[in-house]
Chains A and B, each alone.
Chain A
Amino acid sequence: MTDSKYFTTTKKGEIFELKAELNSDKKEKKKEAVKKVIASMTVGKDVSALFPDVVNCMQTDNLELKKLVYLYLMNYAKSQPDMAIMAVNTFVKDCEDPNPLIRALAVRTMGCIRVDKITEYLCEPLRKCLKDEDPYVRKTAAVCVAKLHDINAQLVEDQGFLDTLKDLISDSNPMVVANAVAALSEIAESHPNSNLLDLNPQTINKLLTALNECTEWGQIFILDCLANYTPRDDRESQSICERVTPRLSHANSAVVLSAVKVLMKFMEMLPKDLDYYGTLLKKLAPPLVTLLSAEPELQYVALRNINLIVQRRPEILKHEMKVFFVKYNDPIYVKLEKLDIMIRLASQANIAQVLAELKEYATEVDVDFVRKAVRAIGRCAIKVEQSAERCVSTLLDLIQTKVNYVVQEAIVVIKDIFRKYPNKYESVIATLCENLDSLDEPEARAAMIWIVGEYAERIDNADELLESFLEGFHDESTQVQLQLLTAIVKLFLKKPTETQELVQQVLSLATQDSDNPDLRDRGYIYWRLLSTDPVAAKEVVLAEKPLISEETDLIEPTLLEELICHIGTLASVYHKPPSAFVEGSRGVQHKRLPGSAGSGESVESPDPGAAATETPPAVIPSQGDLLGDLLNLDLTPTTTTGPPPPTTSGMQMGAMDLLSGGLDSLLGGDIGGNPAMGAAFGAAPATMPASFNAPGSGGLDDLFDLGGGVGMPMGALNPPKAVWLPAMKAKGLEISGVFVRRAGVIQMEMTLTNKAMSVMTDFAIQFNRNSFGLAPAGPLQILTPLSPNQSIEPLNNLQVAVKNNIDVFYFSCQYPISMLFVEDGKMERQVFLATWKDIPNDNESQFQIKDCHLNSDAASNKLQSSNIFTIAKRTVEGQDMLYQSMKLTNGIWVLAELRVQAGNPNYTVSSVALAIGPIINQNGFENGFTNQAL
């Protein structure tokens, strides 16, 4: 007799029959009936109508029956809250039962009944159970607090359960400790700032002790909790590492990975020259390798994490290349991950092996995998210079197989190899040309056309080849059309005599018959260039291209650091910060790796090239630095030591003006394989201000009103653009920019340059919340109003996310606070006087501005154009006192007193802010000041 009998009856009166059975006098029949009910429930049938009858069976001394009824209750109490009240009495009674199993069961079940009325009755029994003499009950009760918190957070706080839970961390039983930690961690997730898990060396010690003795699941909770702790110094860090290391030998892979997370994080604090550091590195490799022999699902998660670890510390697994070799019956998701890691580990030492493997993969059955393998060969060539030749010959071998998709992928990557190593492998062009007819994918066609155009002088029949593409011009995708246009112009510039007709044909096709603005604009530009100055055209179109970089696929370092802190979590599987995707993460705290205690260097890097990529992308200068820069740059221009203006920015701006169609075509130009364009247009005079009228670029211009219409107001500071996001960090997207205030509007001017090999589209931008509520979209919204006497330092540090079709990039930049001063910041004299008196002294701050050779009037004028208004002036003992007011965009008034002594280049500023602490700091004031001092 099996339970399947419970599924058999589906006759009309099933519920009726069950009802009768449930009310039967015979115990055995009752139990069977409840089992039938449970069976129906498990397959999703609605048996809620039986609620009163099932609850009636609850008063029993049969534990199994009791459990079954509890199961039923948990499922249906929500839909029958009034009925569920009937069960309360039994629960409360069971919580007093002499058998701890029943006490625990009762408190556990009560927590699962998500009905407000019941939770009220739960508090007293729960309080008792949290202090129960039996640890089994205590550990169950700990989890119950988390359940209750999920239903009614306020109740839990009011009843003081959180403190009881915190006390349980010091419980004598490790299982209780583990559950308390788990419950607190879960509660803390919904209270990011509550400081629930206040970790200090004493609690850490308790956790480490419990770690050795609790269950595997408890170990995971404790390790994840440990990972949030920041040790005071490297010795504490080392001692924690020593105590966590044995967990690497645990049979449960989740324990292993959580231990890896703790070690990876705390390792940052160890000095590199420590022996222990080296030992630890060696110890990390074997458990990671072992994870790869587990089930494919585990392998997948492990591989995603290894991908991060390899980027952060390539030295750990550099000798383990072979374990990432693909087995033919691995699931596809494992294969693709292994391939990615193989490339990351590829180096001169193992490249021969890797290439042989990749070549093998290229003959596999799965098309997606084969394509990725061929691309991988190209990435190897670009990554390991010494292997380029071998990679090219491998690719040629693959082209000889004539398998269509292999050939197409091979051609796409050979194009990239040409860009990385120009004038080295052109001998293979002939072979490529043989396969021209078999190409049917846009990317491969575009790549081939680029190659033909780029090396037109070495291909005898280049004109014929390109002409053959021209026949179906309108059926091609935009990518191919753009490429074809550029390639034919290149050809014309190289062989003007034979190809005049061809170039005219393509220009007219592009400009007259096309609806695509990018294509049309590019056509017109070429046309005008060619007709006005062929020599300039040559310089532009055939200019030298920047080399492509091999690090474009790396994860941006700050993101990587954050992800390393989240090893083993969903974030690490998706390679996105947890805040980006976890539902209900109300302000997830960003975790950062702790700094190294030893030397200043953050990571040991295998080669100097990589070292450069490991510095954070946008180092936010400390106030002092910024000040120094500005002062040096602006006030004493003769001794400029500030950041040199980026040399490329002028060119990029020019490019945009000329194109006036903007972003898209510029990007298209770069990417489509004609890197000449971006640089090329730079040669043209760049006189107009940057304008951003990109038609298809997601409304960047709308957002910022960056259009060139606004003239530069007199005297306004026009600082050079600084690179905010280097291309290396953002898969080829370089963003440089500056903040200015024009006509009462804060403007953020950005130059986006595509230095990658592929088209970027779908741009979007978003700002992180910031003190002044800067948001991309016209009117300013104050998202976080500063409340009175709040003592936070206003952050004029803006975190920006720019998204395109490739990825989302994060960077941060600093805007001068002077931008935030609004035009109506002039205060009435009386008001000023009254306010000045009203503000308590401790809201005042004072500082000096040095080396400013202006008299008070000139200074006042200068400041006024930066919206710092002089209200009154008086002269005391040869000192000019200027009383000034300014108003921030979030409505905060700032009052200042500027003391100028004739002949003394040092000014003294006392500033007070209305109703709020030292909101206006030295930095802001001087920015405003120095802006005008230009």
Chain B
Amino acid sequence: MIHSLFLINASGDIFLEKHWKSVVSRSVCDYFFEAQERASEPENVPPVIPTPHHYLISVLRHRIYFVAVIQSEVPPLFVIEFLHRVVDTFQDYFGVCTEAAIKDNVVVVYELLEEMLDNGFPLATESNILKELIKPPTILRTMVNTITGSTNVGEQLPTGQLSVVPWRRTGVKYTNNEAYFDVVEEIDAIIDKSGSTITAEIQGVIDACVKLTGMPDLTLSFMNPRLLDDVSFHPCVRFKRWEAERILSFIPPDGNFRLLSYHVSSQNLVAIPVYVKHNITFREGSSQGRFDLTLGPKQTMGKAVEAVLVSSQLPRGVLNANLNASQGTYTFDPVTKMLTWDVGKINPQKLPSLKGSMNLQAGASKPDENPTINIQLKIQQMAISGLKVNRLDMYGEKYKPFKGIKYMTKAGKFQVRT
């Protein structure tokens, strides 16, 4: 199981270590540093690194490497999942997961790690339970603790720990009972030169914020549940009911949680929200190149495309770009050769465009590689897969909750080849 954990910052300093079994010398991280040196980019460090006596499994989040040391045969996914959970917990507790935040809260971090893992076995990783065991630091609580001398460690056994619904604590009370659901879809696509779709798929999630008194039992049904053929549920969802009736039936955890994530595969027809007209050319023998890019909305069901951000890694030979944006602003970083264009909202009447010339190094030959255009965007009030919630019902409690559903589509890895 997981032996030890090292946190390493971007400059290669180990700023926290935690051992759950015997102490492993931090020199074991040298193997990690070697791999780090070999990798061209920070994200290219391989996730599993063998050393003579241990294995190092690492994830990179928020520019911090979380390096777990294991000694015996352990499922690597188990370790990686756990590390992600650690990161999520830190973020949950401290708002951000940065070196500064971790150092600021080092004692809480240590208490958390101790609580999350026992002898390498995960103990409590549900945020609800952890928060009962160790209260998250708030300014108010710090002050109260300082004055009264009380602690931020819970004295009671968390109620959910052993119940049939470990994700929910008992005795929850709210004056305003509310349940909000966000359907967020990210579209991953590769579009080829000519504008046709090579592959497009949708990663969707339903995130919930449920603040309901007591033990509510919710059901959520969809207009078109057959879209959801590849789903991963929060443990609270009753799988049998879903299998039989395609209805989500669950006792929700308290607070924020991810109810469901789903995947609409490339075999379904996926709507592409924007199109890109591009013409990026370099002439042989000339030190100039032309850059011409126009964006337009495609299948958006009449909703506005907002927060559009175009970025492209231009060839190494490009010295600078002299462009003219019809809207928004663009920047070109001459060191990384990254061109970024913050477009904003697309107006279908007046399509945004970015035109101009690029200068190459004098005498350099025509670049070999074709830049890929990466697009980020947001569309409110629409799930691009067409998923729609039909109704939300609550059983088990008498009050009437506020209910709300929000839809949003974002671009995930949306790439246009040129």
Kindly list chain B residues whose C-beta atoms are within 8 Å of the C-beta of A134: 157
- Tell me which of B14, B71, B74, B374 contacts A584 (CB under 8 A): B71
Question: Chain A nearest CB: distance from B118 CB in Å?
Answer: 5
The verdict on A99 contacting B157 (CB below 8 Å), with A297-B47, A297-B58, A319-B267 known, is yes
Interface string of A622-644 (1 = CB under 8 A from B): 00000000000000000000000
Question: A701 an interface residue at 8 Å Cβ cutoff?
Answer: no
In the bound complex, do residue A64 and residue B108 qualify as a contact, i.e. CB atoms below 8 Å apart? no
What's the tally of chain A residues with a CB closer than 8 Å to chain B? 108
The verdict on A328 contacting B199 (CB below 8 Å), with A297-B47, A581-B50 known, is no
- Tell me which of A75, A100, A364 contacts B19 (CB under 8 A): A75
Question: A135 an interface residue at 8 Å Cβ cutoff?
Answer: yes
Question: A111 an interface residue at 8 Å Cβ cutoff?
Answer: yes
A584–B3 alpha-carbon span in the complex (Å): 15
Kindly list chain B residues whose C-beta atoms are within 8 Å of the C-beta of A111: 119
In the bound complex, do residue A257 and residue B105 qualify as a contact, i.e. CB atoms below 8 Å apart? no
Which A residue sits closest to B240, measured CB to CB? A246
Question: A851 an interface residue at 8 Å Cβ cutoff?
Answer: no
A182–B103 alpha-carbon span in the complex (Å): 33
In the bound complex, do residue B72 and residue A582 qualify as a contact, i.e. CB atoms below 8 Å apart? yes
Question: B254 an interface residue at 8 Å Cβ cutoff?
Answer: no
A411–B71 alpha-carbon span in the complex (Å): 44
In the bound complex, do residue B122 and residue A217 qualify as a contact, i.e. CB atoms below 8 Å apart? yes
Interface string of A364-377 (1 = CB under 8 A from B): 11100000000000
- Interface segment, A284-292, A509-517, A647-655, A785-793? A284-292
A179–B417 alpha-carbon span in the complex (Å): 50
- Interface segment, B174-182, B226-234, B290-298, B326-334? B226-234
A845–B54 alpha-carbon span in the complex (Å): 50
In the bound complex, do residue B103 and residue A7 qualify as a contact, i.e. CB atoms below 8 Å apart? yes
In the bound complex, do residue B239 and residue A301 qualify as a contact, i.e. CB atoms below 8 Å apart? no
The verdict on A112 contacting B166 (CB below 8 Å), with A63-B151, A253-B77, A289-B230 known, is no
Question: A108 an interface residue at 8 Å Cβ cutoff?
Answer: yes
- Interface segment, A154-162, A534-542, A567-575, A924-932? A567-575
A513–B22 alpha-carbon span in the complex (Å): 61
In the bound complex, do residue B23 and residue A38 qualify as a contact, i.e. CB atoms below 8 Å apart? no
The verdict on A293 contacting B16 (CB below 8 Å), with A333-B46, A582-B73 known, is no
- Tell me which of A75, A224, A320 contacts B23 (CB under 8 A): A75
Question: A173 an interface residue at 8 Å Cβ cutoff?
Answer: yes
A333–B48 alpha-carbon span in the complex (Å): 11
- Tell me which of B47, B110, B266 contacts A71 (CB under 8 A): B110
- Tell me which of B41, B78, B105, B121 contacts A143 (CB under 8 A): B121
Q: Which of A312-335 contact B (CB under 8 A)?
A: 319-320, 322-323, 325, 327-329, 331-333
The verdict on A35 contacting B415 (CB below 8 Å), with A217-B121, A290-B230 known, is no
Which B residue sits closest to A327, measured CB to CB? B413
Interface band, chain B:
35 or more
The verdict on A286 contacting B265 (CB below 8 Å), with A4-B104, A43-B15 known, is yes
The verdict on A2 contacting B121 (CB below 8 Å), with A136-B162, A249-B239 known, is no
In the bound complex, do residue B122 and residue A3 qualify as a contact, i.e. CB atoms below 8 Å apart? no
Which A residue sits closest to B157, measured CB to CB? A101
In the bound complex, do residue A143 and residue B119 qualify as a contact, i.e. CB atoms below 8 Å apart? yes
- Tell me which of A140, A246, A297, A329 contacts B413 (CB under 8 A): A329
In the bound complex, do residue A175 and residue B162 qualify as a contact, i.e. CB atoms below 8 Å apart? yes
Question: Chain B nearest CB: distance from A349 CB in Å?
Answer: 14
In the bound complex, do residue B105 and residue A322 qualify as a contact, i.e. CB atoms below 8 Å apart? no
The verdict on A322 contacting B266 (CB below 8 Å), with A3-B107, A297-B47, A582-B72 known, is yes
Question: A360 an interface residue at 8 Å Cβ cutoff?
Answer: yes
- Tell me which of A114, A220, A246, A295 contacts B239 (CB under 8 A): A246
Interface string of A17-43 (1 = CB under 8 A from B): 000000000011001000100110011
Q: By CB atoms of chain A within 10 A, which of B126, B266, B313 has the most?
A: B266
Kindly list chain B residues whose C-beta atoms are within 8 Å of the C-beta of A136: 157, 161-162
Question: Chain A nearest CB: distance from B339 CB in Å?
Answer: 14
Q: Which of A395-411 contact B (CB under 8 A)?
A: 401, 403
A582–B73 alpha-carbon span in the complex (Å): 7
Question: B320 an interface residue at 8 Å Cβ cutoff?
Answer: no
Which A residue sits closest to B266, measured CB to CB? A322
Question: B43 an interface residue at 8 Å Cβ cutoff?
Answer: yes
Kindly list chain B residues whose C-beta atoms are within 8 Å of the C-beta of A135: 162
Question: B368 an interface residue at 8 Å Cβ cutoff?
Answer: yes
Known: A189-B72, A215-B166, A331-B41. 14 other contacts (CB 8 A): A38-B106, A42-B17, A44-B14, A62-B151, A65-B151, A100-B157, A220-B75, A246-B239, A249-B239, A301-B48, A322-B198, A327-B188, A570-B75, A583-B53
17 A-B Cβ contacts within 8 A? A42-B16, A42-B17, A43-B15, A44-B17, A112-B20, A213-B164, A215-B166, A216-B235, A286-B230, A295-B80, A297-B80, A298-B80, A320-B266, A325-B190, A569-B75, A570-B48, A573-B76
Q: Which B residues contact A (CB, under 8 angstroms)?
A: 1, 14-23, 26, 39-41, 43-44, 46-48, 50, 52-55, 57-60, 71-78, 80-82, 84, 100, 103-111, 114, 118-119, 121-123, 125-126, 142, 146, 149, 151-157, 161-162, 164, 166, 188, 190, 192, 198-199, 201, 203, 229-235, 239, 243, 258, 261, 263, 265-267, 313, 316, 368-370, 372, 374, 413, 415, 417
